[in-house]
Every structure is written in structure tokens, then in C-alpha cells.
Amino acid sequence: MTKNRIDAVLAQCRAEGRKALIPYITAGDGGYALTEEIVLAMAGSGADLIVLGVPFSDPIAEAPTVQKASERALAAGTTLAGIFEMMGRIREKTDIPVLLMMYLNTIFRFGKERFFSRCRECGVEGVIVPDMPFEEKEEIRAEAEACGVHSISLVTAASAGRIRMIAGEARGFLYAVTAGLEKPSSFLEQVQENASLPVIAELPASDFTHAPEQIPPCDGILLSNALVELIRQSSADSPAAAGRFVKAVRAAMNLQ
């Protein structure tokens, strides 16, 4: 299997005793050029990996903030083919690992083999498919692994009795969805007890710049809503604003 930089970066984070910082933005929100600038700004401000959301016409699994960003991106003409072209340009300037978060139907419509071949060609090293149940993982696993792309497994509170099984077959890291949980720490501790891979916690609306003690036990955090909303509010200044935000969160995480 082709070596994957996701593994190398997360191993480095563990060796250095720090949590990975993984910002999420919606690809094409504001246009491809703006997304490129934001990715480069975040890569230069302390992000370890970056997740790009692929806009979808019916993003039922997303928070309202991300849904609206998806609508804006689609209205601006964003397509999966365009995102791959954008990734080719990004790869000329940074080697930070990039993952796509998307719906399974988008992969099927593009064609599984074609999709993962384009991932390999453009430097996309992982995919997160929120609407793909664990039982359906084989739908894309062969094509993903053939191209050296990690298909990231998700665990939720509803996965409690199957965490060890899911973790045993996971690649890259475990994506722990904590949205809606009153006590995410308890859930994340349970996940870590059953996983050898890094555990990345989804923390959609939190800004830890002033409260690093609120970061729950995990190997990294994925920030989405707060950053997506910041980009909307900042408009043309969003690359600089995103860079400042990521740098501030990175500094707070280093204080934990």
C-alpha cells in the first residue's frame, strides 16, 4: 500500500506529545481561489491536517452553518471535478495532508475507481463519508486502499458496543462524533480505551483560545462550525482571519 502522510503527521504529533489540529472548511465557499488561500493560510498557522467539505445539494448530516456554506459553494459553481483541479494547485504549494468530507452518493456518481484515482493524482489522502455505515465500508475500501487513500471510520455514542470492532478495521484515525453529547470526555475515554489509532474528536462550535482546559481527552480536534462561520463573516479577509484563528487555537492547545 502507498504510504500515507496522514499516518506520518499523526505519529509525529504523538511523538511530540501534542494534539493534532484539523480545521474544516467547505470547498468553494467564496470560490476556488479563496479556498486555496485559506488552506495555505491555515497550513502556515499551525494546522496539522485539513478537511475540505465537498458541497452537496441535500447535506442533512451537517450543522446549519455548514449547510449554508454548502449552498453558497454550489451557487458559486463548485463541483467535485473543480475541487480536484484546485487540489492540484494547492499541492504545488504545500504538502499538508488533506481529506475530503463528503456523501457516499457523490463518490458513486463520480465513479469509485475514477474518484480514488483522482485523489491519488491530486494529493487527497483521506475521505470521511458521514452517511456510510460501518457495515457498508466495503463499498469503497478496495478502491481507496488501491490508491493509498484512507477511508476514515466514524464512531458515535450509538457505536458503544462496536467501538473495538470498528477501531480494529479503521485506517488513519478514528473520527469520534461528539456533537450533542453532554459529557464528550466519557465517550472519548471509552473510544481511546478500545483504539490503537489516534482518536480525533469533532468539536464543531468550540473556540478554545480562552479555555484550553475544555479540550477533552483525544489525540486531536476537528474544528468546523466556528471556522466556517468566521469565513462567512470575514469575506475577502477570510484567509488572514482563518490563519489568525488557527494560530490562536494552536497556541491554546499547546497550553493544555
Q: What pLDDT is stored for residue 231 in this prediction?
A: 92
Percent of the residues in the chain that have a pLDDT greater than 90, as a whole number:
77
Q: What pLDDT is stored for residue 211 in this prediction?
A: 57
Q: Indicate the pTM of the whole model.
A: 0.95
* Distance separating alpha carbons of residues 115 and 112, to the nearest angstrom: 5
CATH class of this structure's domain 5-254: alpha beta
* Sequence ranges of the domains in the chain: 5-254
Q: What pLDDT is stored for residue 113 in this prediction?
A: 98
DSSP H or E stretch at residue 91: helix 80-91
DSSP H or E stretch at residue 13: helix 5-15
- In the predicted structure, residue 1 carries a pLDDT above the cut 60: no
**What is the mean predicted confidence (pLDDT) over 236-245?**
94
Residue 204: pLDDT band with limits 50, 70, 90: low
Q: What pLDDT is stored for residue 39 in this prediction?
A: 98
* Distance separating alpha carbons of residues 33 and 170, to the nearest angstrom: 33
pLDDT in tens, 105-127: 999 999 999 999 999 999 999 99
- In the predicted structure, residue 62 carries a pLDDT above the cut 80: no
Q: What pLDDT is stored for residue 61 in this prediction?
A: 65
Q: What pLDDT is stored for residue 182 in this prediction?
A: 83
Beta bridge pairs of residue 113: none
- In the predicted structure, residue 5 carries a pLDDT above the cut 60: yes
Beta bridge pairs of residue 152: 128
- Cβ partners under 8 Å of residue 209, min gap 6: 248, 249, 251, 252
Q: What pLDDT is stored for residue 206 in this prediction?
A: 52
